[in-house]
Amino acid sequence: MKRVRSILVLLPPPPPDSPYYDLARSWKVEIHFANLVEIQGLTLPEFREQGTSPLDYNAYIFTGKQAIDHFFRLMQEMRLEVPADSRFLCVGEAIAQHLFQYISGAMRRRTYAQAQTLNDLIPYMKKHPQAKYLYVGGGVAPLQFFEEAARHNLSVGTIRVYNVLYTPLPASLRRKKFSVIAFPSVTSVLAWKKLYPTYQQGETAILTFGLDTKRIAENEGFQIHDYAPREGVGSLLGLLTQYLRTHMGHTKGSLSSE
């Protein structure tokens, strides 16, 4: 078993007191961070060019915090409020908790947050087939989800509130070989494939967070070595910790032979 020496996490660098750095020190591994994705919120004229009014819908689907922030920013700029009887569908409890900053208590009670993937929302949507759903996001639209919703005769529109720009790795990281690459989102997978279309995984272990991320990564040809969330592992940090425990033995900093 090869010793894990270096890990690339495709996230912006966290603050110096982040537990990621504690993990690196404990296991004597290098952890590097790189953000391949820059989110650029739409201006109000760009938003309006889409010709879609959020008020034509009464159920809103969010898969990321950035989508929530830019959606409500644009709504405020237009001096609009979502209908009082609106429903909100979130992929993950963390997304719902972020949403609660923007909506009232009554709306919070109409928020569904038990899904781990977009397709997990379909059973809930089938219980409310008359609702008009609006997927709020940016970048690549989740076509498989729209196709599944259409198969059940559910009305789902889409609107962009931001654009996604891809940023290459710094030159110092492009020259490195990593034992592990961790993809935290679908967007990070798509950014990597766009920036490095000829990349060969080789012996590098690929870890993914989010079941949609895992599915997209597999569709793009990656071999997935582990993923979260799953039972006992609820975060990306927890996933890295579990992987190191499994592949470096029970002794932190173990110098197992290559």
Which tens digit of pLDDT belongs to each residue from 42-91?
Answer: 999 999 999 999 999 999 999 999 999 999 999 999 999 999 899 999 99
Does 125 reside within a domain? Answer: yes
Residue 15's domain comprises 6-36+170-247
**Residue that finishes a domain, picked among 111, 138, 164:** 164
Q: Does one domain contain both 119 and 107?
A: yes
Residues 160, 45 share a domain:
yes
Do 158 and 52 lie in one domain? The reply is yes
Domain count, the chain: 2
Q: What is the pTM of this model?
A: 0.75
Q: DSSP secondary structure string, the chain?
A: -PPP-EEEE-SPPPPTT-HHHHHHHHHT-EEEE---EEEEEPPHHHHHTT---GGG-SEEEESSHHHHHHHHHHHHHTT----TT-EEEEESHHHHHHHTTTS-HHHHTTEEEEESSGGGGHHHHHHSTT-EEEEEEESS--HHHHHHHHHTT-EEEEEEEEEEEE-PPPHHHHT---SEEEE-SHHHHHHHHHH-TT---TT-EEEEESHHHHHHHHHTTPPEEEEESBTTB-SHHHHHHHHHHHHS-SSTT-----
Percent with pLDDT over 90 in the chain: 79
One domain for residues 110 and 177: no
Same domain? For 91 and 158 the reply is yes
Task: Give 256's pLDDT tier (boundaries 50, 70, 90).
Answer: very low
Q: Answer yes or no: is 101 within a domain.
A: yes
155 shares its domain with 177: no
CATH of the domain at 12: 3.40.50.10090
Residue 141 and residue 209 in one domain: no
Same domain, 99 and 202: no
**Are residue 176 and residue 118 in the same domain, yes or no?**
no
Residues 62 and 156 in one domain: yes
- Whether residues 153 and 240 fall in one domain: no
The string of pLDDT tens digits covering residues 82-136 is: 998 999 999 988 899 999 999 988 899 999 999 988 999 999 999 999 999 999 9
